[in-house]
Amino acid sequence: MRGHHRRRPDAEGHIRRPEEARHHREMIVGPTKVLFMDEISTGLDSSTTFQIVKCLQQIVHLGEATILMSLLQPAPETFELFDDIILLSEGQIVYQGPRDYVLEFFESCGFRCPERKGTADFLQEVTSKKDQEQYWADKQRPYRYISVSEFAQTFKRFHVGLQLENHLSVPFDKSRSHQAALVFSKHSVSTRELLKASFDKEWLLIKRNSFVYIFKTIQLIIVALIASTVFLRTQMHTRNLDDGFVYVGALLFTLIVNMFNGFAELPLTITRLPVFFKHRDLLFYPAWIFTLPNVVLRIPFSIIESIVWVVVTYYTMGFAPEADRFFKQLLLVFLIQQMAGGLFRAIAGLCRSMIIAQTGGALFLLIFFVLGGFLLPKDFIPKWWIWGYWISPLVYGYNALAVNEFYSPRWMDKFVMDKNGVPKRLGMAMLEGANIFTDKNWFWIGAAGLLGFTIFFNVLFTLCLTYLNPLGKPQAVISEETAKEAEDNGLPRETVSNGSTRRNGSMKSKDGSNNKEMRETRLSARLSNSSSNGISNGISRVMSVGSNEAAPRRGMVLPFSPLSMCFDDVNYYVDMPAEMKQQGVTDDRLQLLRDVTGSFRPGVLTALMGVSGAGKTTLMDVLAGRKTGGYIEGDIRISGYPKNQATFARISGYCEQNDIHSPQVTIRESLIYSAFLRLPEKIGDQDITDEIKIQFVDEVMELVELDSLKDALVGLPGISGLSTEQRKRLTIAVELVANPSIIFMDEPTSGLDARAAAIVMRTVRNTVDTGRTVVCTIHQPSIDIFEAFDELLLLKRGGQVIYSGKLGRNSQKMIEYFEAIPGVPKIKDKYNPATWMLEVSSVAAEVRLSMDFADYYRTSDLYKQNKVLVSQLSQPEPGTSDLYFPTEYSQSIIGQFKACLWKHWLTYWRSPDYNLVRFSFTLFTALLLGSIFWKIGTNMGDANTLRMVIGAMYTAVMFVGINNCATVQPIVSIERTVFYRERAAGMYSALPYAIAQVVMEIPYVFVQTSYYTLIVYAMMSFQWTAAKFFWFFFVSYFSFLYFTYYGMMTVSISPNHEVAGIFAAAFYSLFNLFSGFFIPRPKIPKWWIWYYWICPLAWTVYGLIVTQYGDMEDTITVPGQPNQTISYYITHHFGYHRSFMAVVAPVLVLFAVFFAFMYALCLKKLNFQTR
């Protein structure tokens, strides 16, 4: 079973491997002969893992490939497939060589692998200071700890180490190299083939993402139709400058809509970047091969969308009727779309993460927007910002569109009087009045500028992808305790830092500082004084029920009632998937569970097992009442009484596989939060005070061995905070503090190495020893972990039971059952019973034996015994009563609100990536607008200046509000995932949770508005009166608040924050159109005036303008009209009345209340979690 002497697979057998290594899994197809594979078995059963590794072994031996693979919890038979072993510990190679000699090496050091111990598990523990002693086999000498450094030195003197050293000391003979070993080109195939493959892939992705492009086009059509009916040609005249400014608004809206239509490129590109960086670093292709199809294949869609927009809007809005001007506008709209797509792709390539791109991209857009020439004309831009005018792509689009329209005969053939009484062509006067370039060549200058920006942004996109690396690459970080222990062993700290790493990095305390208490600790020997000398022997002894050496049952602070669960002939169906119906299936329902019968009892640890797809998690969800759809049949009883989900949630716990927790709270805070919401005020005759709850939390932390980590922040999985194994134990603890009688655990050891899995399983065993009923689904258990269970419920594909009963000592009862079946092979020595059981009961085994194991089980004595047991457990014991609770939740509405508010306060306070981002953006926006519109409030000489101020106010509120909306969405989405788990656990109702989150935003938005208002008000030099400043603050505050609540509402009606972002953006165009900036209220057609009154941004602009200028009687010049007072102009041009402020103020408050209410309502009524 050996391959080429330089081409054999290696298995890395110690948990201290460099977990910070890249997670690239190279494809087997192609010329690749070297594969690095990291934890490929996570989530697979041991039988499937064995088959995959067996296949890879054939690739190595037959294809002369080299594979280096790390596995979690490898079963003995999987371990036996490897040729060579690399054993790493604390950054040093302890052993590297043939698998056949690894046990011989450790025996020469005085250590022996026990009889029923997997070799891989032995190797993981024998180098650990706290696990080593149990394997000492030299009875002639007293045990002493052998450090990793000593093992490494001893290996150099071992015959395998000497052979390895001799092999490495001989220079490699290049003449023996294969001719394909040296390549002369950077990429495997020619540029032409790369381009063809890239274009084919891009087109395939476009077809599979067709919904996005169809949605964009439909959205554009809807906005175009609405805009066309707002700027309807029957309402659009060409009589004077006022009419001209309405056309400017229509052109400006055309520019902005088509500009922001390219925003979809941002999330689409960022989503694809991880795969691109992987392919780039593996030299699949250069960056330009990726970007060129990306750009070229978007052109047809831009052409279609441009045609749709111009065809729908051009003549309907009443633009110049000449055909050449129609096609010129079509060209400009197309170039604007291409420029926008290139811009958003460049932002994606530069920022490389959605959070940074949303904020960084918004900053770019803000600069381009404000300096685009339509809010503040070029002549009014301060000299320190004039460079921004020339680099804004909107300048070129805006000027080109305006020149194309106002140079038409219908504008140029009419005359108006200028301020000196001299007649001037209306079109020229319009261009001058709007501060637009009057040279007709500006159409082609603008078109060339847009084309140049398109090329520049796409080149920038390509350069970013060529030279920049992905953000957040893992860094090697270890805990202080690990480093100190290594130093005690004589190993330099630098060596450890290079070798012993954790993917999650070191944990931080809640104040951000490193704290030794919070470090990852080796908890393997915590119970060693009372139950065992090490993990594995501890598991086999501490965890075996009925053993004389079993750990004593632990007392708990709070009493609970042990409860049993039994279920008889449970069936579960879902609606037949459409794909299966297309393949000819005629049934309306698909059955996932079939006649499942069994029982779970107090003090008995039950394993729920089966091959992948057998229905383990499905059965657990059905029994726990977590299914959100489907059809359930059968009888489920709790201690003899029919199961009632409302009461069952109060006495049960469910540990989900994904370990969902709020990332910004500590372990202790997570447990306190769960305890205060789930523990009632009284249990029996005992009052449950806050002190008792805290004492109970401390007891649970000790039980699950998390007391030394109590102040560690939970963090995000795989990014920060707790390790996977610690998160598993936290998940268990969160359910234990609810004092449940029945606990379900879905794959508590999935994704863990054997040693970490042993720690988690001891936690599970400790829980069972308190007298609780515990059932676990489990994948790939080692022999020790598998035999820690008392009973087994085994399912086959199709959701049918093929074994339900005791395991017995050394799994003997289960083995005897299957070996009694004719044709089933006997189990081999040292073979993992769990793997053997799955192999002999597989579909292939059924075909080979021509039998159905489910039918065999239903005719067995074991099945009859289980039916009798279920029948007995279905009868309530005399003197007992059914579960009853006077209220649905343990706490009152007020209590739920207080607890939720407390957790939200901690989450927000410890979320600098959320609050600092929006605070920084608001600060930048305020300083930017203040410096651009410097002291503009002191110069109100004409109507154009007033329009500039209105534009500045409108822009600030829109951009800051949209940023608030966008940044709150990921926070709400992450916490909603936790909310689904906590609500299903019966912790609270949706209303107090939502109100708490809504209330939590109030102080942060208040702070945000405070410094924004002070900066903008001072730098723009508005009138310093208390009333005007208060109204400016009031309108800005509730505007930012309703935008924030609007973002929360969009998440509550969407399955994720990406969809929420698209949904929110769909209404931004309508908010802009009806804000009163592009088209004043008196000019809006009567059939659309209703939307103006329900547009929140319109009320914001109304409030800002009327409170600052509604009472000013200063005279201003109005082009083409007599001089007017500011208040008169505001009233007659914009339709704003000072007296109406009494209505505007409460309406702004009502918008915030409405969006908050809709968020709470949708959170309560809608559930996007499908199980």
Amino acid at 241: L
188 found inside a domain: no
Pairing relationship of beta strands 773-777 and 605-610 according to DSSP bridges? parallel
Residues 897 and 868 in one domain: no
What does the alpha-carbon distance between residue 924 and residue 919 come to, in Å, rounded to a whole number?
9
| pLDDT < 70 regions, the chain | 1-30, 42-43, 175-184, 234-236, 418-421, 472-557, 718-719, 754-755, 1120, 1171
Q: How many CB atoms lie within 10 A of CB 541?
A: 17
Classify residue 342: in a domain, yes or no: yes
Q: Indicate if 809 and 919 belong to the same structural domain.
A: no
In a domain, 487, yes or no: no
Instruction: Give the residue from 600, 598, 605, 599 showing the smallest Cα distance to 546.
Output: 605
Report how far residue 904's alpha carbon sits from residue 893's, in angstroms, rounded to the nearest whole number.
16
Q: Taking a C-beta distance cutoff of 8 angstroms, is the pair 25, 40 a contact?
A: yes
140 shares a domain with 212: no
Same domain (yes/no): 377, 418? yes
- Collapsing DSSP to helix, strand or coil, 166 comes out as helix
pLDDT for residue 571: 95
Is 1085 within a domain? no
Last-in-domain residue among 467, 483, 500: 467
Residues 929 and 857 in one domain: no
What's the domain range around 52? 10-172
d(CA 662, CA 216): 34
- Residues 551, 657: one domain? yes
Domain boundary among 445, 467, 489: 467
Please tell me the predicted confidence (pLDDT) of residue 177.
67
Max alpha carbon distance in the chain (Å)? 118
| pLDDT, position 420 | 67
Number of domains comprising the chain: 4
Phi, psi of 202 (to 5 degrees): -65, -40
1102 occurs within a structural domain:
no
Contact assessment for residue 504 and residue 723, using Cβ atoms and an 8 Å cutoff: yes
The CB density around residue 165, as the number of other CB atoms within 10 Å, is 11
- Pairing type for strands 34-38 and 565-575 reads unpaired
Give the closest residue to 254 by CA, choosing from 317, 324, 333: 333
DSSP state, residue 24: -
Residue at a domain's end among 447, 467, 487: 467
In a domain, 396, yes or no: yes
Do 479 and 520 contact (CB within 8 A), yes or no? yes
Phi, psi dihedral angles at 749 (to 5 degrees): -110, 5
As to burial, measured by CB atoms within 10 angstroms (0-12 exposed, 13-18 middle, 19+ buried), residue 328 is buried
Same domain, residue pair 278 and 373: yes
| Predicted local distance difference test score (pLDDT) of residue 557 | 60
Residues 104 and 215 in one domain: no
Which positions ≥6 away from 487 have C-beta within 8 Å?
493, 496
Residue 19 inside a domain? The answer is: yes
Q: Dump the DSSP string for 296-329.
A: HTTHHHHHHHHHHHHHHHHHHHT----HHHHHHH
If asked whether residues 28 and 63 sit together in one domain, one would say: yes
Structure tokens at 324: 């050449």
Q: What is the pLDDT of residue 470?
A: 85
Q: Give the relative orientation of helices 943-984 and 354-370 as an angle to the nearest 10 degrees.
A: 170
The pTM score is 0.78
What pLDDT is stored for residue 830 in this prediction? 75
Q: Are residues 150 and 252 in the same domain?
A: no
Q: What pLDDT, on the 0 to 100 scale, is given for residue 609?
A: 92
Residue 1133 inside a domain? The answer is no
The reply to whether 854 and 990 lie within a common domain is: no
In terms of domains, do 927 and 1000 share one? yes
pLDDT in tens, 746-788: 888 877 776 677 778 888 888 898 889 999 998 778 888 888 9
Token readout for 472 is 């957040």
Q: Strand 565-575 relative to strand 423-425: parallel, antiparallel, unpaired?
A: unpaired
